[in-house]
Structure 1
Amino acid sequence: MIVRNLLIAVAAAALFAGCASQPGMPGPSAQADVAAAAEKLRLAMVDPTGPALNDLTATDLSYGHSGGRVDTQASFISDLLAGNSDFVTIAITDQTIKVVDATTAIVRHTLTADTNDSGKPGKVMIKILAVWQKQGGQWKLLARQAVRV
């Protein structure tokens, strides 16, 4: 009986130590939270407001376009608000989300959109790699790179 209780105590200690040695591991809702943030960003890019875009993007945002241009948070938001980058519709397909740890997630998807950049209608289909970072309890877009399909 004593040996059995000792084995149970050792197993419990090992289990606790294993959990304790992985601080910051994502909870079960982390993937859903990242998906929700990505969806909010999709909606904010179609109907942009400064506060919404500010809340969803990191101050250190690096936003790479498929044509090679790279935006900062300020230029990304400014172009959307001014209509230089105007998404009429955005559809997201083939999305995968990998939550790496409690503060980092990688999102990949295909973006198909109708655009009206600077008053010129167009269509775009690109592959996106996005890195999301949890800052102050909220997932924010930290980095994004697009490539042509």
Structure 2
Amino acid sequence: MKKLHLLLFACLIFTATAFAQSKDEKDVTAAVEFMRKAMVDGNRADLTKLAADDLSYGHSSGKIQNKAEFVEAIASGASDFVTIDLTEQTVKVVGTTAIVRHKLSAQTNDGGKPGSTVLGIMLIFQKQKGQWLLLARQAYKLPTP
């Protein structure tokens, strides 16, 4: 009976360890949430803060933006996210690089025209001077439900 309890305890510890996020994974997850909120709010200062100077921001249409273009499009309202919901997110940290994948469902109001989109997203964050910054993003279209 004692061995069974030890075995169960070991399984619980292993399971908890296997599913626990590292500090870097938690920090990257927080950076993604900061980005989501900044994009909905259109907050120029926050958008500037989260993006690396060498940002390559790819849209599902094939359009690529640099940092200044990305920030301006969101902050000016040309690309207006009313809501952004992220699901099925995974975070993989390798050294000072993090790969984030998720499904993005959004309500938009680009140019005053309401719309919705469902996209697959891959984000690359890089740790620079202790902060996780968005270095690259690529979106691809998913079928709408």
- Normalised by the shorter chain, which TM-score bucket? 0.7 to 0.9
1:127 correspondence with 2:131: no
1:90 is aligned, of 84, 89, 94, to: 84
**Per-residue deviation at 1:77?**
0.4
Q: Deviations over 1:81-107 (max 9, x none)?
A: 111100000000000000011x10000
**4+ runs deviating over 2 angstroms:** none
In structure 2, stretches of 5+ residues that fail to align are 1-20
1:63 correspondence with 2:61: no
Q: Deviations over 1:115-136 (max 9, x none)?
A: 0011111000000011000111
Q: Distance in 2 between matches of 1:140 and 1:48?
A: 17
1:107 correspondence with 2:100: yes
**Per-residue deviation at 1:28?**
2.8
Aligned partner of 2:13 in structure 1 is none
Letter in 1 for 2:42: P
**Per-residue deviation at 1:48?**
1.7
C-alpha RMSD over aligned residues:
1.0
Q: Distance in 1 between matches of 2:28 and 2:39?
A: 17
TM-score normalized by the length of structure 1: 0.80
Aligned partner of 1:47 in structure 2 is 41
Q: Distance in 2 between matches of 1:110 and 1:147?
A: 10
Count how many residue pairs are aligned between Structure 1 and Structure 2: 122
2:69 is aligned, of 75, 88, 91, to: 75
1:147 correspondence with 2:119: no
- Contact 2:54 2:135 survives alignment (8 Å): yes
Letter in 1 for 2:38: A
Q: Distance in 2 between matches of 1:82 and 1:148?
A: 24
Percent identical among aligned pairs is: 53
Greater CA radius of gyration, 1 or 2? Answer: 1
**Per-residue deviation at 1:60?**
0.4
